Homo-oligomer: A and B are copies of this chain.
């Protein structure tokens, strides 16, 4: 059971706070503000979209933080590219979850340690954009305390953008978000035909 479902009062309180923030934002109309973007769904392009937004932000001279909550295989291309760029702070969570070995305690510990890195960025107004890659997977399996995550997101500096990627974005996160895009698979010609992931495109 999800943390958020366990605490309806806390959820209501968070939604009220969110509504107040939304109303202030709408009243501010033409003002700039930090956005929370969620990229979810089964289609390809969620993480790459997040990294593209990070690149765009860097192009504007903005400071970017990345925390990669990995699914299993170690991401290579984006880490190689972004992790040594000036203006980027980059954390990769441990060594992936224990899908095979099923050591839940270890998975929770790893995800929690990664969230501590994320939370530090979400408290630091020097970060203009924070990319939380595959966070949704950590939430999906309740490796993180949902309420803590949502509260940290809500309490971030007002001008800070956050991009969250991963399948299965939980409903409370969608409610908190400003913009949500779902990636749909229209066609994936080789998904069932044994063609391996292509370096540079998929890894």
Contacts and interface: CB of A to CB of B under 8 A. Distances in A.
Interface of A: 22, 25-26, 28-33, 35, 37-41, 43-60, 62, 76-82, 128-129, 161, 163, 174, 177-190, 193-196, 198-201, 203
Q: How many copies does the complex hold?
A: 2
Given A49-B48, A78-B52, A193-B26, A57 B200 contact: yes
User: Which of A28, A32, A45, A50 is most buried by chain B, counting CB atoms within 10 A of its CB?
Assistant: A45
Contacts of A22: 189
Contacts of A40: 186
B196 A44 contact: no
Contacts of A187: 174, 177-180
Contacts of A49: 44-46, 48-49, 52
B52 A50 contact: yes
A50 B56 CA distance: 12
Contacts of A199: 32, 60, 62
B179 A44 contact: yes
A47 B52 contact: yes
A189 B29 CA distance: 12
A175 to B, nearest CB: 9
Given A53-B201, A78-B55, A188 B194 contact: no
A59 B45 contact: no
